[in-house]
Structure 1
Amino acid sequence: MNSSPAVRMERHGDNGDSGEIALIVLQDSARMNPLGRPLQLRLRELLAEVREDTSLRALVLTAEGRGFCVGADLSSMGGAQGGAQADGRTLGAQTADNMHQLSNRLILDLQQLPVPVVCAINGAAAGAGVGLALAGDVALAARSAYFYLPFLPRLGIVPDLGTTWFIERRLGRARALGLSLLGDRLGAQQAADWGLVWACVDDEALREQALATAARLARLPAGAVLEARRALDHAAASTLEQQLHYEAERQRDLVGAPAFMEGVQAFMQKREPVFAPRQPG
């Protein structure tokens, strides 16, 4: 595996380095982990490794230092005045193209990963870092962490990397608009109380709690996280009648499958089910 000063990956589990949980850590801590191009490229490479390695059954994404991720690397745009760039594109066109080609794909990589994703938010999640923090399946926030959307009040641009999609669905329109327009920091405990994240935990316990949560998720049937995501996405755009039909049709395929049969046998035998790992392809 190629090394990178900005991102590293470890394996955790009962068997040490041969465990079933991938831990990906952003470690540009001196700069609070901005989303520079090298970091994003390396992160996508590691997510591809997780996707292809069927022995991995869960992922924890976290960071080192005081910040989880402070969003775009504005230092790389510091000399820009909004005019044409060296290649003839405006700064806005260059930014949008980079988002289409890299940053947006990073968020989709996380959302489409065939294993559950736990985001352990160790510190500030600001700007596009909010979208990254919310792109997993279960978000745990350290007590000192906070969420900050400076896009509109400070920069006159819209929240991006899926931030508007995530916060509107989790918080509702009123709170999503308030956070977007006022730019107030949302502390971890309030974020948990509002339902933006799964839980707020003490700083020193964050990584241990995240790995323990990932260990629980790793025991799920292969494909369970994909089914859950798809079912909830379908529900968000469906009537009750349409969703009832969707659920019945999914059961047509899933009831009687190996995972269901193992679950029934485990219930009858009063034991925990043991589900088969992911299969290639």
Structure 2
Amino acid sequence: MDYETITLEERDGVATLTLNRPDKMNAMNAQMRAEVQHALKDAGTRARVIVLTGAGRAFCTGQDLGGASASDLDLERILRDEYEPMLEALAHCPVPTIAAVNGPAAGAGANLALAADVVIAAENAYFLQAFSRIGLIPDAGGTYVMPRAMGMAKAMGAALFADKISARQADQWGLIWEAVPDDGFAEHVAGRAKHLAEGPTAAYNTIKRVIRASWDNTEEEQLAMEAREQGACGKTRDFQEGVMAFIEKRPAKFEGR
């Protein structure tokens, strides 16, 4: 499929989905949301890891408000019909997803990044829950992810004050996986993606589902889920290969099955 607001490149098991409206700092419109959703579902059937990033100097600055009056925006409909399907496609993607935050991630753009499995940010990047600046509340999953990732106190402050959270702060607070120097950022992300692309994809899929389920399960339910899913992982070819590689003291060559 030919996309107009994003690009999708696939190589060696890595699919790179780039938000491609650099003149708008990759602000999202309806077409971009639809294209991101489609690309995630499409690439998830072939790739072994998906990297989500932005073209130009920004990752994504959220909703494109250009050319629209406040009274014309049906925010409830937009969130329900456009944002939610896109975020669900990212959260439920069958392969690991990495948000490579190369620059500012603001509003729904910040929460799009935080919906990925792993967030790696360049040191020049920042996260901004800008909503209260225009009389809104954090959306696109922000009120769900932030308290769970960095605690109630930090989440509340981020929402009320709408201060910039630097990549280093986000790393220290547990909001993201890591912040890395700008120099070598692309190479670092590529290395992380390569590691996942060569890993046990079926186990990664299970890790994603089991960890996300832990937010809603009791301890007993989570233990039962672990046992059930571990039993399934133990029947995969990758488990057999992993054990043989360990015994033979060599790197494992996972097939992703």
Mark yes or no: TM-score above 0.5.
yes
Residues 230-241 of structure 1 aligned to structure 2 (within 5 Å): 230-241=209-220
| Correspondence for 1:25 among 3, 14, 18 | 18
Structure 1 gap ranges (5+): 13-18, 86-90
Deviating more after overlay: 132-141 vs 251-260: 251-260
Partner AA of 2:6 in structure 1: V
1:141 corresponds to: 121
2:244 corresponds to: 265
Indicate if the aligned counterparts of 2:199 and 2:256 stay in contact, CA closer than 8 A: no
Q: In 1, Cα distance between the equivalents of 2:224 and 2:190?
A: 36
Q: In 2, Cα distance between the equivalents of 1:11 and 1:104?
A: 25
Residues 87-102 of structure 1 aligned to structure 2 (within 5 Å): 91=73, 94-102=74-82
Residues 111-150 of structure 1 aligned to structure 2 (within 5 Å): 111-150=91-130
Partner AA of 2:134 in structure 1: L
Is 1:172 paired with 2:170?
Answer: no
Q: In 2, Cα distance between the equivalents of 1:106 and 1:250?
A: 27
Indicate if the aligned counterparts of 1:33 and 1:68 stay in contact, CA closer than 8 A: yes
2:64 corresponds to: 73
Q: Cα distance, 1:253 vs. partner? A: 2.4
2:49 corresponds to: 58
> Deviating runs (4+, > 6 A) in structure 1?
none
Q: In 1, Cα distance between the equivalents of 2:19 and 2:212?
A: 29
Partner AA of 2:212 in structure 1: D
Across the aligned residues of Structure 1 and Structure 2, the Cα RMSD in angstroms comes to: 1.7
Indicate if the aligned counterparts of 1:222 and 1:277 stay in contact, CA closer than 8 A: yes
SS in structure 2 at match of 1:186 = strand
Q: Percent of aligned pairs with the same residue? A: 35
Q: Cα distance, 1:120 vs. partner? A: 0.6
2:136 corresponds to: 157
Q: Deviations over 1:108-138 (max 9, x none)?
A: 1111111111111011111101111111111
Q: In 1, Cα distance between the equivalents of 2:96 and 2:51?
A: 9
Q: TM-score, normalised by structure 1?
A: 0.86
SS in structure 2 at match of 1:118 = strand
Q: Cα distance, 1:45 vs. partner? A: 2.3
Indicate if the aligned counterparts of 2:59 and 2:109 stay in contact, CA closer than 8 A: yes
Q: Cα distance, 1:174 vs. partner? A: 0.7
Deviating more after overlay: 260-269 vs 230-239: 230-239
Deviating more after overlay: 231-240 vs 137-146: 231-240
Q: TM-score, normalised by structure 2?
A: 0.93
Indicate if the aligned counterparts of 1:27 and 1:33 stay in contact, CA closer than 8 A: yes
SS in structure 1 at match of 2:66 = helix
1:208 corresponds to: 187
Q: In 1, Cα distance between the equivalents of 2:194 and 2:62?
A: 29
> In terms of Rg, which structure is larger?
1
Q: Cα distance, 1:178 vs. partner? A: 0.7
Q: In 2, Cα distance between the equivalents of 1:76 and 1:103?
A: 19
Number of paired residues?
A: 257
2:36 corresponds to: 43
SS in structure 1 at match of 2:7 = strand
Q: Cα distance, 1:37 vs. partner? A: 1.2
